[in-house]
Amino acid sequence: MEPGWRCELSAVHLLRLRRHTQDDDTLSPALRLDTFKMAMHTMADGPVAELLLRRLEASDGGLDSAELAAELGMEHQAVVGAVKSLQALGEVIEAELRSTKRWELTAEGEEIAREGSHEARVFRSIPPEGLAQSELMRLPSGKVGFSKAMSNKWIRVDKSAADGPRVFRVVDSMEDEVQRRLQLVQGGQAEKLGEKERSELRKRKLLAEVTLKTYWVSKGSAFSTSISKQETELSPEMISSGSWRDRPFKPYNFLAHGVLPDSGHLHPLLKVRSQFRQIFLEMGFTEMPTDNFIESSFWNFDALFQPQQHPARDQHDTFFLRDPAEALQLPMDYVQRVKRTHSQGGYGSQGYKYTWKLDEARKNLLRTHTTSASARALYRLAQKKPFTPVKYFSIDRVFRNETLDATHLAEFHQIEGVVADHGLTLGHLMGVLREFFTKLGITQLRFKPAYNPYTEPSMEVFSYHQGLKKWVEVGNSGVFRPEMLLPMGLPENVSVIAWGLSLERPTMIKYGINNIRDLVGHKVNLQMVYDSPLCRLDAEPRPPPTQEAA
Ligand code: FB9
């Protein structure tokens, strides 16, 4: 048995070791014994534990922690403490938690067991010539004792006495049964009392039934009467001195709970995301499923009437997948209509007049926008007849193979809003954009004509930013083209307005972060996350934390 193995052994293991070492001739007898003794020596866990082990040694079968405490005249808790620490040592002892009900005297019960019952005290306080009732009632047990002594027919009241009611003994002596019974219980012989007697004492709040959690302790497989402290840390000096070799180590409790971090911290992006979610929900929008970063070129581009030779569809802008390279399931009847619309047009459109290829549409990619999710949602909507107006939103990651700079990473979160209804116009779009950005605390908006392959007309949205003293582009928007909607099967007079923006930009502005790498990615300093204040989008943006504040 190679020497190394004995180091990280707990007491229990050492006990086994001892058994082993006894017949293990690789270890010199001296080493064998002193290793064992040395190990046993260092694990100190206090006299109670030792007492318990010795009692256990002497007991046949086991012992009850409460009885042991009573025998040793110590608090039950002290024995429980020893049981727990012995349990931590492994299989030195078995301890089975039991709950036993037992009768205990209440504080008043203790006092009566000591001083006698109230009625007995009243009886004893009445001299042969009697006692004025008024005086008797002033006695500490007067009130309670008088009525009990009366009902026990120990005393009587002469109401006609000269100077007012006077109390006299009726019997010469009496038995203070109450006290006797309480002392029985005190002596651990509660079972000697009948149910009636017990319940009478309980009714008088002199006795209470308590559930005592006790341990039934029995010898463990590694039982021994001597115990001692186990190392819980492997300290540098143990390693350098090599002393770790013969020190017993407490077994690792891999089930132990880690130190709970004092509180979780939401990343600023998630704080702003929940604000945007709140705004959309307030405006009656429902969230679109976006749980697929991987999308087919069909839903990401073709379904949006974005031609296959569009620059965004090449490697430079889009991350295509090598494996799985192709999307297998596509709704082919719809695909045919998209193919025709791209290649020949239709629905009043001349189309793009090029050879549309299914293989190109099958190419898998990392979605470049969540507008692909809008396309899927609108296609599902079109399958539901009759058409019902809807308001959808999405907030999720999109990926673009863009040149990285201070405000652009290869991925960002796109926020998108979509409204589908009969006869929606650009005016409706401007209206809903005003309502949306107003909830963001952005009121001054300007719309600039723009171009997107899937919307016509399209607008970039700008807002005047007080802090930055300039017009900032806060998003893009447009009316989805009929070449996108009609192949889906949406009714002629249904139009769909939509807009999009990023989550990162407003978050950077809100938290005064200029470089997106300070907000997202491996360089983020977690302190920034911890210190990032609660986000109130419609409140004035906070100045960036100054150095000394940071
Ligand atoms: O988020 C953007 N800007 C922004 C938004 C909010 C904001 O809030 C401040 C607290 C006050 C500040 C700034 N932009 C969109 C504008 C620019 O940042 C732009 O340079 C970068 N854009 C991203 C794309 O970059 C290639 C932001 C991202 C973007 C752009 C367009 C869309 C979505 C995200 C869209 C769309 C769309 C259009 C029509 C129909 C459906 C979707």
Q: What is the mean pLDDT of residues 450-476?
A: 94
Q: Is the model's pLDDT at 65 over the cut of 80?
A: yes
pLDDT score of 5: 47
pLDDT score of 201: 92
Residue from 370, 501, 520 to probe ligand 1 pocket by mutation (most atoms less than 8 Å from CB): 501
Q: Is the model's pLDDT at 31 over the cut of 80?
A: no
Q: Whose CA is nearest to atom 3 of ligand 1?
A: 474
Q: Whose CA is nearest to atom 32 of ligand 1?
A: 500
Residue from 398, 485, 505 to probe ligand 1 pocket by mutation (most atoms less than 8 Å from CB): 505
pLDDT score of 539: 62
Quote the ligand 1 centre to 296 CA distance (angstroms): 23
Between these two residues, 302 and 140, which has the higher pLDDT value? 302
Q: Is the model's pLDDT at 336 over the cut of 90?
A: yes
Burial of 42 (C-beta count, 10 Å sphere; 0-12/13-18/19+): middle
User: Taking a C-beta distance cutoff of 8 angstroms, is the pair 10, 89 a contact?
Assistant: yes
Q: What is the mean pLDDT of residues 411-420?
A: 97
Q: Whose CA is nearest to atom 38 of ligand 1?
A: 477
pLDDT score of 2: 46
pLDDT score of 253: 80
Q: Whose CA is nearest to atom 30 of ligand 1?
A: 501
Q: What is the mean pLDDT of residues 240-249?
A: 88
pLDDT score of 338: 98
Q: Is the model's pLDDT at 549 over the cut of 60?
A: no
* DSSP conformation letters of 93-135: EEEEEEEEEEEEE-HHHHHHHHH--HHHHHHHT--TT-EEHHH
pLDDT score of 380: 97
Between these two residues, 403 and 113, which has the higher pLDDT value? 113
Residue from 371, 432, 459, 474 to probe ligand 1 pocket by mutation (most atoms less than 8 Å from CB): 474
Q: Which atom of ligand 1 has the smallest separation from the CA of 504?
A: 1
User: Residues lining ligand 1, CB < 6 A?
Assistant: 371, 414, 416, 442, 452, 455, 472-478, 498-502, 505-506, 509-510
The tokens for 431 are 């209206």
Q: Which atom of ligand 1 has the smallest separation from the CA of 408?
A: 25
Quote the ligand 1 centre to 320 CA distance (angstroms): 23
Quote the ligand 1 centre to 282 CA distance (angstroms): 21
Q: Is the model's pLDDT at 86 over the cut of 90?
A: no
pLDDT score of 523: 84
pLDDT score of 190: 85
> How many percent of the chain have pLDDT more than 70?
88
Quote the ligand 1 centre to 222 CA distance (angstroms): 69
Helix axes 46-58, 65-72, angle to 10 degrees: 110
Between these two residues, 259 and 454, which has the higher pLDDT value? 454
Q: Which atom of ligand 1 has the smallest separation from the CA of 398?
A: 34
Helix axes 177-186, 107-115, angle to 10 degrees: 120
pLDDT tens-digit readout, 250-271: 878 888 877 776 777 889 999 9
pLDDT score of 61: 84
User: Taking a C-beta distance cutoff of 8 angstroms, is the pair 362, 298 a contact?
Assistant: yes
Q: Which domains does the chain have, with CATH numbers?
A: 107-207 (1.10.10.2330), 269-531 (3.30.930.10)
Q: Whose CA is nearest to atom 35 of ligand 1?
A: 500
| Distance from C-alpha of 178 to C-alpha of 117, rounded to nearest angstrom | 6
Quote the ligand 1 centre to 445 CA distance (angstroms): 14
Q: Which atom of ligand 1 has the smallest separation from the CA of 400?
A: 26
Contacts of 493-496 with CB under 8 Å at 24 or more apart are 493/422, 493/423, 494/387, 494/420, 494/421, 494/422, 495/420, 495/421, 495/422, 495/423, 495/424, 495/425, 496/378, 496/418, 496/419, 496/420, 496/424
User: Taking a C-beta distance cutoff of 8 angstroms, is the pair 217, 95 a contact?
Assistant: yes
> How many percent of the chain have pLDDT more than 90?
57
Give yes or no for a cis peptide into 386 (omega within 30° of 0).
yes
Residue from 403, 440, 446, 476 to probe ligand 1 pocket by mutation (most atoms less than 8 Å from CB): 476
Q: Is the model's pLDDT at 37 over the cut of 60?
A: no
Please tell me whether the overall predicted TM-score, pTM, comes out greater than 0.75 for this model.
Answer: no
pLDDT score of 403: 76
Between these two residues, 31 and 387, which has the higher pLDDT value? 387
Q: What is the mean pLDDT of residues 132-155?
A: 90
**What is the dihedral sign for C-alpha 340, 344, 346, 352?**
positive
pLDDT tens-digit readout, 303-322: 999 999 998 888 778 999 99
Confidence band (pLDDT; 50, 70, 90) for 342? very high
pLDDT score of 182: 93
Quote the ligand 1 centre to 429 CA distance (angstroms): 16
Between these two residues, 540 and 83, which has the higher pLDDT value? 83
Confidence band (pLDDT; 50, 70, 90) for 407? confident
Quote the ligand 1 centre to 469 CA distance (angstroms): 19
Q: Is the model's pLDDT at 428 over the cut of 90?
A: yes
Quote the ligand 1 centre to 399 CA distance (angstroms): 14
Q: Supply the mean pLDDT for the chain.
A: 87
pLDDT score of 140: 86
Q: Whose CA is nearest to atom 19 of ligand 1?
A: 473
Q: Is the model's pLDDT at 350 over the cut of 70?
A: yes
Confidence band (pLDDT; 50, 70, 90) for 166? very high
User: Any idea which of 27-36, 126-135, 210-219, 400-409 has the lowest mean pLDDT?
Assistant: 27-36
Neighbours of 92 (CB within 10 A): 26
Q: Whose CA is nearest to atom 37 of ligand 1?
A: 500
Confidence band (pLDDT; 50, 70, 90) for 431? very high
pLDDT score of 232: 82
- Cα-based torsion angle of the residue sequence 484, 487, 491, 497 in order, rounded to the nearest 10 degrees: -10
Q: Which atom of ligand 1 has the smallest separation from the CA of 402?
A: 26
